[in-house]
Amino acid sequence: MELKKCKNCGVFINSNADYCTTCANTLYYNNTILKGYFDSTREFSDSISTISSHTGVSPSIVENYMVENNMIDSSTLEKTSFANLPY
Ligand SMILES: [Zn+2]
Protein backbone atom coordinates (compact mmCIF):
# COMPACT_ATOMS: atom_id res chain seq x y z
CA MET A 1 0.00 0.00 0.00
CA GLU A 2 1.33 3.39 -0.96
CA LEU A 3 1.90 5.82 1.82
CA LYS A 4 0.99 9.38 1.06
CA LYS A 5 2.07 12.55 2.77
CA CYS A 6 -0.25 15.31 3.85
CA LYS A 7 0.17 18.21 1.41
CA ASN A 8 0.08 20.67 4.27
CA CYS A 9 2.06 19.32 7.22
CA GLY A 10 3.83 16.33 5.68
CA VAL A 11 2.68 13.58 8.04
CA PHE A 12 2.08 10.19 6.48
CA ILE A 13 -1.55 9.43 5.84
CA ASN A 14 -3.08 6.04 5.32
CA SER A 15 -5.76 6.96 2.81
CA ASN A 16 -6.22 8.49 -0.62
CA ALA A 17 -6.87 11.91 0.82
CA ASP A 18 -4.51 14.79 0.08
CA TYR A 19 -4.50 16.00 3.66
CA CYS A 20 -4.43 14.42 7.10
CA THR A 21 -7.59 14.66 9.17
CA THR A 22 -6.29 17.59 11.22
CA CYS A 23 -5.30 19.64 8.19
CA ALA A 24 -8.48 18.71 6.31
CA ASN A 25 -10.55 20.01 9.21
CA THR A 26 -8.44 23.16 9.48
CA LEU A 27 -8.62 23.83 5.75
CA TYR A 28 -12.35 23.20 5.70
CA TYR A 29 -12.79 25.64 8.57
CA ASN A 30 -10.55 28.24 6.92
CA ASN A 31 -12.34 27.85 3.59
CA THR A 32 -15.63 28.45 5.38
CA ILE A 33 -14.21 31.64 6.88
CA LEU A 34 -12.90 32.80 3.50
CA LYS A 35 -16.14 31.98 1.72
CA GLY A 36 -18.00 34.07 4.30
CA TYR A 37 -15.49 36.88 3.87
CA PHE A 38 -15.84 37.02 0.09
CA ASP A 39 -19.61 36.59 0.25
CA SER A 40 -19.94 39.53 2.62
CA THR A 41 -17.47 41.95 1.05
CA ARG A 42 -17.73 41.14 -2.65
CA GLU A 43 -14.40 42.89 -2.78
CA PHE A 44 -11.86 40.97 -4.79
CA SER A 45 -9.20 43.65 -5.01
CA ASP A 46 -7.99 43.14 -1.44
CA SER A 47 -4.46 41.88 -1.24
CA ILE A 48 -3.82 38.44 0.21
CA SER A 49 -2.14 39.96 3.26
CA THR A 50 -5.15 42.24 3.84
CA ILE A 51 -7.53 39.30 3.64
CA SER A 52 -5.27 37.31 5.94
CA SER A 53 -5.26 40.03 8.59
CA HIS A 54 -9.04 40.41 8.34
CA THR A 55 -9.79 36.71 8.63
CA GLY A 56 -6.87 35.34 10.63
CA VAL A 57 -6.29 32.75 7.90
CA SER A 58 -2.65 32.31 6.93
CA PRO A 59 -1.63 33.91 3.61
CA SER A 60 -0.70 30.59 1.98
CA ILE A 61 -4.21 29.24 2.59
CA VAL A 62 -5.79 32.49 1.35
CA GLU A 63 -3.64 32.22 -1.76
CA ASN A 64 -4.62 28.59 -2.39
CA TYR A 65 -8.28 29.41 -1.88
CA MET A 66 -8.15 32.30 -4.36
CA VAL A 67 -6.29 30.23 -6.96
CA GLU A 68 -8.72 27.32 -6.60
CA ASN A 69 -11.66 29.69 -7.01
CA ASN A 70 -10.10 31.45 -9.99
CA MET A 71 -9.94 34.76 -8.16
CA ILE A 72 -6.28 35.10 -9.00
CA ASP A 73 -3.98 33.48 -11.51
CA SER A 74 -1.23 31.50 -9.82
CA SER A 75 1.17 32.41 -12.62
CA THR A 76 0.84 36.11 -11.83
CA LEU A 77 1.42 35.83 -8.11
CA GLU A 78 4.23 37.79 -6.64
CA LYS A 79 6.37 34.93 -5.48
CA THR A 80 8.44 37.05 -3.14
CA SER A 81 5.60 38.77 -1.32
CA PHE A 82 5.56 36.46 1.70
CA ALA A 83 9.20 35.45 1.66
CA ASN A 84 9.98 37.49 4.76
CA LEU A 85 6.91 36.52 6.78
CA PRO A 86 7.43 33.95 9.53
CA TYR A 87 4.85 31.46 8.33
ZN1 LIG B 1 -1.61 17.53 7.73
**DSSP assignment string, 4-70:** EE-TTT--EESSS-SS-HHHHHHHHHHHHHHHHHHHHH----S-HHHHHHHH---HHHHHHHHHHTT
> Model-level pTM?
0.67
Q: What is the pLDDT of residues 10-33, one digit of tens each?
A: 999 988 889 999 999 999 999 999
Distance 16 CA to ligand 1 centre (A): 13
Q: What is the pLDDT of residues 43-64, one digit of tens each?
A: 667 789 999 999 999 999 999 8
Distance 21 CA to ligand 1 centre (A): 7
Q: What is the DSSP letter of 75?
A: G
**What does the pLDDT read at residue 8?**
86
**What does the pLDDT read at residue 42?**
61
